[in-house]
Amino acid sequence: MATAGESDRTASAGAARRYRRDPLGFVEWAAREHGPVFRLPDDGSLCVADPVEALRVLHNEEGHYDEVSDFFHVRGGRLGSRETQVAIGRAARATVRAHLAAHRERLPAVVAGLGEVSEWPSAGRTAAHRFLAEALLRPDSPPALRELMTRVVERDVLIRPGGRLARVARAALWARVVRAVAGEVRARRAGVTGPAGQGPGRPGDLLDAVLGSTPPDTPAAQVAQVYLLLFRTSVAPVGHVVGWALLAAAAHGVDLADVPAESAVRESLRLWPVAWLLGRPVHRAHRIGGVRLEPGESVSVCVYLLHRDERYWSQAARFRPGRWDDGPGPRGAYLPFGGGPFTCAGAAVAQTLATGLLAAVSDGARLEVRGGHGRPHVAGIITPPSFQLRRTPIRP
């Protein structure tokens, strides 16, 4: 007969397997069973899905949490000081924002380049990359490097596809990309390639933005890793937000031609937030929802649950872009890009680009979605299941 301790360990292991297999389904079940505060089975962190407590965690006005960002985690630790991280975020945002402002009229041509029939969500990442290509890596960069970055997007390396062989292939390609970008970092530092088209105080591309914001003795491999993190978050989330909007609109009978693209993007982000789980390491002992936390533990704000809570959202599971006609939504219950000092630096730019891309897809065309009935893939961000989009132009 199993002892109580053995039974607890067996139950814990089973919960961990269930969570790994279907993290979204698990947190939905746990919230129904235990309320808005419960432990996650994989690392024991406290999951929080209450708006008041979520804002308390993310804004950290009481100093309960370490002021660190996991986004800048590179091999060997975190890159630079908080000041350096903020500078990188600002420079990256300025680079992408300037490109969007100067070239937004290209979006319809980018969408047309996908063809009448396209496979999503890959097509969304491809469109975002094609539009941002010159801002991500300027035209005078080595052709081999630019081709390699295109391959990263085309082979879905950005989203960590499942399967052992896929992981091995992804890791090999990613290591090759890190080496190639590090080589470009060293070349730019040595002045081998010049900042073509770079005005005073304005980086030429995203890599220039990172280089100009980091201390000159920062290892080239670390600069490359941060650049690739920014590259990934500039491309994949935008494509996925648009993909989710297309899929949800088809599933719920919404004609995207009849609603503002901005409202559809907001609703897409509500149902499928870019950052669905936000972790914070505990610095000082305190309580959340009656649970005592000690230094060394962690708290995870579950944005996915906040966005689907029927107490704050009418018909929470439905795609209803019209709900945004009445305002920004309940405070603390809508956090698609996080909150507090570690809110995603590129949130506004990403939302603007996703809005422009969705408008270009839906403008002047009849949309037909096929497939997309599987569960989403969860690996950092929530990836839509594969579907096919037929976009038939409406003749005047």
pTM over 0.85: yes
**What does the pLDDT read at residue 13?**
76
- pLDDT score of 339: 86
CA pair distance 152, 174, nearest whole angstrom: 8
In 284-298, which positions are buried (b, 16+ CB within 10 angstroms) versus exposed (e)?
A: eebebeeeebeeebb
For position 100, what pLDDT does the model report?
95
Listed as own residue / partner, the contacts of 282-286 with beta carbons closer than 8 Å and 24 or more positions apart are 282/64, 282/65, 282/66, 283/63, 283/64, 283/65, 283/66, 284/62, 284/63, 284/64, 286/62, 286/64
Contacts of 184 (CB under 8 A, 6+ apart): 141, 142, 145, 193, 207, 224
DSSP codes, 256-296: GGGS-HHHHHHHHHHHS-SS-EEEEEB-S-EEETTEEE-TT
Per-residue pLDDT of the chain (396 residues; tens, 9 = 90+): 555 454 455 557 788 899 999 999 999 999 999 999 999 998 899 999 999 999 999 999 999 998 766 666 666 666 667 888 889 999 999 999 999 999 999 999 999 999 999 999 999 999 999 999 999 999 999 999 999 999 889 877 766 555 555 678 777 888 899 999 999 999 999 986 654 444 444 458 999 999 999 999 999 999 999 999 899 889 999 999 999 999 999 999 999 999 999 999 999 999 999 889 999 999 999 999 999 999 999 999 999 999 999 999 999 999 999 999 988 888 889 999 888 877 887 888 999 999 999 999 999 999 999 999 888 888 778 999 999 999 998 877
The SS3 call for residue 131 is helix
